[in-house]
Structure formats: structure tokens, C-alpha cells
Chain A
Amino acid sequence: MLYELITSNTHNNNTALYKCYNANKVFYRKAAFSHWGNKVIENENKGYEWFYKDSEYLAEIRFMKKYFYELEIPEFNGRKFPSESVISGNEESIEKIIAFYKDRWSTENDFTVHGDMALCNFIIDKNNIKLVDWEHFHYSDKEFFGYDIINMLFIFIYHESKRTFSLNKRNRDFLKKCYIQLAEGVANSNKILEKPFQNAKDYLLTFKDRFLVNTNIYNKFVLAGSPLSVLEHFDSIVTK
């Protein structure tokens, strides 16, 4: 067996992600290096169990409770995206993800939040969308439907504008289109979509313990550290 260490202790999560090359297959192994890391891995496993509960992949996801917990995840086939992906060039994938989110998340009885939904955590092929990195997974109220997508759109804004939060008209129009697609048919009681970016930040800060973050939340999520004026600006762009 051959290993590659992909990440270690990212945002002080006390875990490491290895890519493992066996004779006939490639898979990922996430291992804990403390009891906090055990909590993270256990939580991530819950996320995988929830997402892949009706899928053939569930059998390939192995959770091992040693002194330090480990999680084995198969290598999913499909298109992968870099961590600093921007809007331009990914419009089709983003629309596909929003449609997928609406379909999957609105039909569940137990509403959940992925917590770190970003394009780099999706693997997309013709027939399927797979989602990885469930560290921040948690159950929540259905009224917070849309949080994950709004968080993802804000990450796009951050990278597209190169941290200046200034977007061209084409991208602004696309954001609005995404918002309309997400908000269509959603109940009035929803607590995110009226002022999506401000409300998403409020949700993140109010329920930060649910996200199982072992570092300053402002360092981990760009949405948490963004000024109110920026959020108001983008709220007005998408809701106008």
C-alpha cells in the first residue's frame, strides 16, 4: 500500500487525509490524531451515512473505531474542482448543484446542513452528484433551507472578486439567477432567503457549536468574517 498525505490538521481539525493506492483500487483515509479529531471523524461519518443512505457507495464507506478513529472513503469518479474555483466557466455546474440541492434537501424529513458546501467538495458526472467533506454536518430546522447554497455562492464571490467583493455585471446577474432558482417555491417561513447573506452569517454565528470547528470561526468561514456592508450589498443584488 502506498500513501499520499493530502492535508493535515486543516483549521486545527486534528485529522489528516491520506490518499491510498492499493494494488487494485484507490481510496481516501481520514484519520484522527486526538479525541477532538475522533469527534470530527464520527460526525463526518454521520454525514456520509445520511447522504449515501440509499446509495451503493455506503457499503464502501468504512468507519473504524480504534483509539483514534478512521474513515475510509472511495475515490468517486467524475469531474473535480479546485478549492479556489470561480463563477466564470462553472455556471452550468453551479445551476446543476442548486437543482440537486432543491431536489435532495427539500424532500428530506430531517433537514440537515452540510456546513462547508463549496464546489471543490462536489464530484459531478453525467448521472450523479457526489458530495464529500462532511466534517461540519449537522441536523437543523427546515426553515434554514438554503444556507449551504448561500454559503457556497459567497465563497464564489470571494474567489471571483479576488477578495475585493467587486463583481462584474455578468456575474452579478448570474448570482441573481441562482438566487431565484433557489428561492422558487420555498415557504415564506424560511429564515435564510429574505436577506440571504446576512441571515446565513447569523445562522453560522448563532449555531457555531453545531459546525464543530476547533479554530476561530472567522478564520474558517469567509462568510463569518465578512463585513455587514458587503453582505447587505449582495443581498440587495440578488433580492431586488
Chain B
Amino acid sequence: MKPKSDFINLSSAVGLGLIGFNEKNIVVDYGCIFFDSFVYASRLCKKVVGIIPSSERLNTLQKRLVEEDVKNCDLVNANYNEQHFNEVFDCVIINSFLEQLIIEIKRDKTIFFDSKIRDKKRYSGPEKIRIGFFKTICKGLRPGGTLYLSYANKLRIRTLLLFIKLAIKSFFTAISLKEAPSFISLLNAIYLFSYYLLSQEGLEKLLRTNGFVDIEKYAVFPDLKYPLKIIPLSKLDEFSFEPVQYLYRGRCFRRICAGARRRIDIIIFNKLKLFSLSPSFIITARKAS
């Protein structure tokens, strides 16, 4: 009889299907946020290295790997910048681990939101916009190796939550000076949001200056945890967007919400083609040979 683990469904790792692993590949997963993805990569590749800064997550992943009898892996409990690997990787996976990058971006917003910068002279050369995280990645990747980067569209959610919060408040209370901070934070969110939309190109530029080519960007629906639809943004003219079926069984209210969400998706993505508002993104790129 086959062990139970042989029948575990790793469908949540469908995003990694964009890579096309082979049995000779050595892969590194920064953060190991999605365990299914780690296991999936281990099944198809020669070896997977996982870098997990959190000891708690490391222990949980170790247990899972024992359960699933995964042996072709190394787990490293450290930050990305503390590692000096002897190996050169064929693929780097960064699943929802952009927070690390965001910490670095926070130090100098102009690096990421470069398309908003009026004074281009502030850059003395491409070296200026190299970020430690990408430097480390690029160093460990073999020429021609693949980068797989996925991240949630968090500013979208933040703005939406602020809108809802404000709408509820204004419904129940009269507008007064007390709401002023809310209005300011809303305006701030809209401002950040406009930056964010403009920064979509910024991230690509960041990858290019770090030596990546063939950069492809994908919109992911409904989320990164269980992607049901992944659309290449460079092929938008070749198909019409069909929203994913949100499966909310049981309660009537939930079904109504799912239907409403589907209709909103049709308006935003099919009619208005605002794919910058996609819930999540995946970027694949290749290190220049």
C-alpha cells in the first residue's frame, strides 16, 4: 500500500508550473512561506534549499517534510543576507517574501517608486538602485537561471479597507473634525496607491538593473495561496478574462457575496482591464547569461 503522503494534493503550487523544473535543478526557496510549493519543488528537482528566518516555521516545515518523506532538501535557519552558499542555484523562489525587500525599500522609497521621481539625475548609474536582497539572489543564481517571485497586492487591500472603514463611519456619524485623521489617511492611501500603480514598472526596472532578462509578469486570481487563474500580462489582448468561481458553499449570504465579487471582477478586469488591481502577482525572470 502506498503511504498516505503520496496522495497529498499539491495543487496550491500551480504557480510553480510556470517554471518547468527538471530533475537536475537545484533550487532555493527564500522564506519557505508556502510549504506545498517547497514539497512540490522537492518532488521535481534534484535538491531544494530552504531559508527560514523563523525557528517556529522551520520546526513546522521539518515535521511536514518528515511526514512526506522529503529527503532531497536542506533547511537553513537564517536571514537571506547571512548566507554564503557554495552551490549555484538553477532557480530562486521568493513566495510572498517581498516583505524583506519592502524593509529595504522603506529606507529609500525613491529606489522602488522610481517612475515618480522627477529628477532622474539623482541616479548616478544603475549601481545605485541595486538592493541587497536582489544582489544576494543574483549572486547565487547561475547564468540563465530562473527567478520566481510572487507577492500579494497589499496596497490594494489597504486602500479598500480604508475606504470601507470611512464609508461605514460616515454612514453612522456626522462628519466632524474627529474624522479629519481618517480623511488624511485615506488621501495618503490614495497617494500611495497611485505610487504603487506607477511602481509596477519600477520593480521590473529593479530586476533589469540587477541583471535579469525575459521578465514576465502574471496576474494571479483569487490569491497566491490557492491560485485558480494566472494570466500573463503581456498577452492581455489575446483573451477575454473569465473570473474565477468563488466557491462559498452553505450560507446564502456567502453565495451572494461570491456572486457580487464575480460581477465586480467582470467590471474591473474584463471591461476596464485594470489588471494593476489584481489580487496578486507572479514575476518570472531569467539571469542574463
A8-B14, A8-B228 given as contacts; is B235 within 8 A of A2 (CB)? yes
Report B-chain residues with C-beta under 8 Å of the C-beta of A213. Answer: none
Report B-chain residues with C-beta under 8 Å of the C-beta of A29. Answer: 17
A31 at interface (Cβ–Cβ under 8 A)? yes
Report A-chain residues with C-beta under 8 Å of the C-beta of B9. Answer: 9, 12, 14, 33-34, 36-37
A66 at interface (Cβ–Cβ under 8 A)? yes
B267 at interface (Cβ–Cβ under 8 A)? no
Contact of B43 among A4, A15, A36, A68 (CB under 8 A): A68
Interface size of B by CB at 8 A reads 29
Interface class of chain B by DSSP: mixed
B88 at interface (Cβ–Cβ under 8 A)? no
Bound: A12/B246 CA distance, A: 15
- 1/0 per residue, CB under 8 A from B, across A32-52: the answer is 011111000000000000000
Q: Are the C-beta atoms of A16 and B232 separated by less than 8 Å?
A: no
Q: Are the C-beta atoms of B44 and A5 separated by less than 8 Å?
A: no
Report B-chain residues with C-beta under 8 Å of the C-beta of A5. Answer: 14-15, 17-18, 227-231
Interface size of A by CB at 8 A reads 25
Report B-chain residues with C-beta under 8 Å of the C-beta of A6. Answer: 229
Report B-chain residues with C-beta under 8 Å of the C-beta of A67. Answer: 43-44
B222 to chain A, nearest CB (A): 11
Report A-chain residues with C-beta under 8 Å of the C-beta of B40. Answer: 33
B226 to chain A, nearest CB (A): 8
Q: Are the C-beta atoms of A7 and B18 separated by less than 8 Å?
A: no
Q: Are the C-beta atoms of B11 and A35 separated by less than 8 Å?
A: no
Bound: A34/B68 CA distance, A: 12
Q: Identify the interface centre among B13, B17, B230: most chain A CB within 10 Å of its CB.
A: B17
Interface residues of B in 1-29 (CB under 8 A from A): 2, 6-11, 13-15, 17-18, 20, 23
Interface residues of B in 83-122 (CB under 8 A from A): none
Inter-chain contact total with CB atoms closer than 8 Å:
74
Q: Are the C-beta atoms of B232 and A4 separated by less than 8 Å?
A: yes
Contact of B7 among A3, A4, A8, A36 (CB under 8 A): A36
- 1/0 per residue, CB under 8 A from A, across B204-232: the answer is 00000000000010100000001111111
Bound: A68/B36 CA distance, A: 14
B240 to chain A, nearest CB (A): 11
Report B-chain residues with C-beta under 8 Å of the C-beta of A18. Answer: 17-18
Bound: A159/B129 CA distance, A: 55
B171 at interface (Cβ–Cβ under 8 A)? no
Bound: A3/B229 CA distance, A: 11
Q: Are the C-beta atoms of A66 and B23 separated by less than 8 Å?
A: yes
- 1/0 per residue, CB under 8 A from A, across B225-254: the answer is 011111110110001000000000000000
- 1/0 per residue, CB under 8 A from B, across A83-97: the answer is 000000000000000
Report A-chain residues with C-beta under 8 Å of the C-beta of B18. Answer: 3, 5, 18
Bound: A1/B17 CA distance, A: 12
A3-B17, A3-B18 given as contacts; is B11 within 8 A of A14 (CB)? yes
- A residues adjacent to B (C-beta < 8 A): 1-9, 12, 14-16, 18, 21, 29, 31, 33-37, 66-68
Offer 11 A-B interface pairs, CB within 8 angstroms, sorted by A.
Answer: A2-B235, A3-B18, A5-B228, A7-B228, A8-B229, A18-B17, A31-B17, A35-B7, A36-B7, A66-B23, A67-B43
A8-B14, A8-B226 given; name 11 further pairs at CB < 8 Å.
Answer: A2-B216, A2-B235, A3-B230, A4-B230, A5-B230, A12-B9, A14-B11, A29-B17, A34-B7, A35-B2, A36-B7
- B residues adjacent to A (C-beta < 8 A): 2, 6-11, 13-15, 17-18, 20, 23, 40, 43-44, 216, 218, 226-232, 234-235, 239
